[in-house]
Amino acid sequence: MLAFQPAGACEAVRSQLSEYLDRELGPDERAHVTLHLAACAACARVALELALVVGALHQLSALRSPSGRA
C-alpha cells in the first residue's frame, strides 16, 4: 500500500511520533500516523528507533534513579 505522501507529511508524522508511541494521540491522528508508517519505510524506521529509546526511557524512569539527570 503505497499512498502518495504530500510534502511535509514525513515531518508532520515524525513530530507526532513521541505522542504516538505514548498513546497520547487521538484516534484520527493515530490512524493517520499508522497509515503513514505503513506506507513510508523511512518514517517506520524512525518510529522503530524512537520506540526503542522511549521504551528504554520508560524503563529507566520506572527505576526512579536518583542520579538520572546529567
Question: 10 or 54, CB closer to Zn ion?
Answer: 10
CB 43 within 8 A of CB 10: yes
Smallest gap from residue 55 Cβ to Zn ion (A) = 21
Minimum gap (Å) between residue 18 Cβ and Zn ion: 15
Binding stretches for Zn ion (CB under 5 A) = 10, 40, 43
Ordered DSSP codes for 1-66? ------TTHHHHHHHHHHHHHTT-S-HHHHHHHHHHHHH-HHHHHHHHHHHHHHHHHHHHHHHT-T
Measured from the CB atom, the residue of 17 and 40 that comes closer to Zn ion is: 40
- Is the Cβ of residue 41 or residue 60 nearer to Zn ion in the bound state? 41
